[in-house]
Amino acid sequence: MKDIVSLVLASNFFGIALGSNCEFERSAHYIQRAIDINVVAKNLWGIAGSKSNLAYFSYYYHGRVNLAFRTSNEGLQIAEESGDIYSKVTAYVSHRGSCYGKGLLDEAEKYLLKGIEFCERINFPAWDGAAQHFLGETYFEMGNFQRAKEHYGKGIMACERNQQFPSWVGWGKVALTRSKVMNKEKDVNLESLYAHSRKNKIKVAEGWIQRYIGEILLNIDDQHLSESEYWIQKAIEGDQRNRMMFHLGKDYALYSDLFKRKGNKSKAQEYLGKAIEIFKECGADGWVTKAEKELTTLL
C-alpha cells in the first residue's frame, strides 16, 4: 500500500517478536529494514529506537554481547542527539542489557535508573516494567537482594496493572522468589514456580526461568540438590536449543556451583571452564573475569 510509516512499525515490531522467539537472524533483518528507512527519512528518533531494539532483541539475547554493546551505544548517542524522550527510554534500557552482558553492573544501574525516570515522565508502562525487572536483576548480581526484591515487585506490578506480558510476569515472580531465598526467606511455593515454567510462552525466557528455579532449589536447603540438577539441565538444554549463548554460559556457571556444593571438584572445574569458554565467545568480559577468579579457588 506504499504506507512507509506502517512498514517501519511493522518491520520493527516483527523483528522484536522474532527476537523474542529466538529467530535472531530474521529479527535482525526486519529491524535493520526499519533502521534503513529511518536513515533515508533522516528520522533520528526512529533510528535510535530501532537500533536499540536491534541491539537488545537480535544481538543481546543471542549472546553477541560486543555487537550489542556497540549497537546500543550508537542508539543511545543518536537518541541524545534527537532529544526525543521516547527514543531515550528504549536507548537507556537497551544499553543496560549490553552493559550487563559486559559485566558492567554500575553502568547498567545508571542507565536503568535514567530509563525509569523517562518512563515515569511519559507513562510508558511496557518499558517501565522491563526496566524495573532488569534493575532487580542488576541488584541481584550486586548482592543487594532486598533492592532486587523491590524492583522485581515493581516490574511485576507494572505488567499486571496494564495486563501486559503474562510470561514476563511469571519470569518476574520466579526471579523475585530467587531474591527472597538469597535473602534467607523461606516462604517458597515450589509448585507455583513450576507452573510459571509450564505457562511460559516466550522462548527467550525458557532457560532463564528454568535456571532460576534450579538456583532457588540449590540455595533453599540441602534437600533439593537432585531437583536443582534436573532444572539446571533443562535450562542448559533449552538455551542450547534456542541459541541463548550468554545465558548458556550462566547455566554452566550455576551447574559448576551445584557440583561444588556436592563436593565434586573436577566436575565443578569442568563446567566452570565451559562457562568461561562461552563467555569469551560472547564478549562477556566481566563474567569471564568473575568466573576465572572462581576457577582459581577450585584448583
Could you give the C-alpha distances from 213 to 13, 25, 227, in angstroms and in order? 30, 29, 9
What is the b/e burial string over 165-201, where b = at least 16 CB atoms within 10 angstroms of the residue's CB? bebbbbbbbbbbbbbbbbeeeeebeeeebbebbeebe
> Residues of the chain with pLDDT > 90: what percent?
93
pLDDT digits (tens, 9 = 90+) for 191-248: 999 999 999 999 999 999 999 999 999 999 989 999 999 999 999 999 999 999 999 9
What mean pLDDT comes out for the span 117-146?
A: 93
The yes or no reply on domain 1-122 and CATH 1.25.40.10 is yes
The phi and psi torsions of 218 (rounded to 5 degrees) equal: -70, -35
pLDDT digits (tens, 9 = 90+) for 90-106: 999 999 999 999 999 99
Whole-number mean pLDDT of the chain? Answer: 96
What mean pLDDT comes out for the span 73-89?
A: 95
d(CA 175, CA 152): 7
Quick check: 56 pLDDT over 90? yes
The phi and psi torsions of 241 (rounded to 5 degrees) equal: -65, -40
Quick check: 2 pLDDT over 90? no
- Per-domain residue ranges for the chain? 1-122
> Residues of the chain with pLDDT > 70: what percent?
100
Quick check: 9 pLDDT over 90? yes
pLDDT digits (tens, 9 = 90+) for 158-183: 999 988 899 999 999 999 999 999 99
Q: What is the pLDDT at residue 186? A: 80
Q: What is the pLDDT at residue 202? A: 96
Q: Which residue has the cell 534437600?
A: 223
What mean pLDDT comes out for the span 113-125?
A: 91
**What one-character-per-residue DSSP string does 40-106 give?**
HHT-HHHHHHHHHHIIIIIIITTT-HHHHHHHHHHHHHHHHHHT-HHHHHHHHHHHHHHHHHHT-HH
Quick check: 299 pLDDT over 90? no
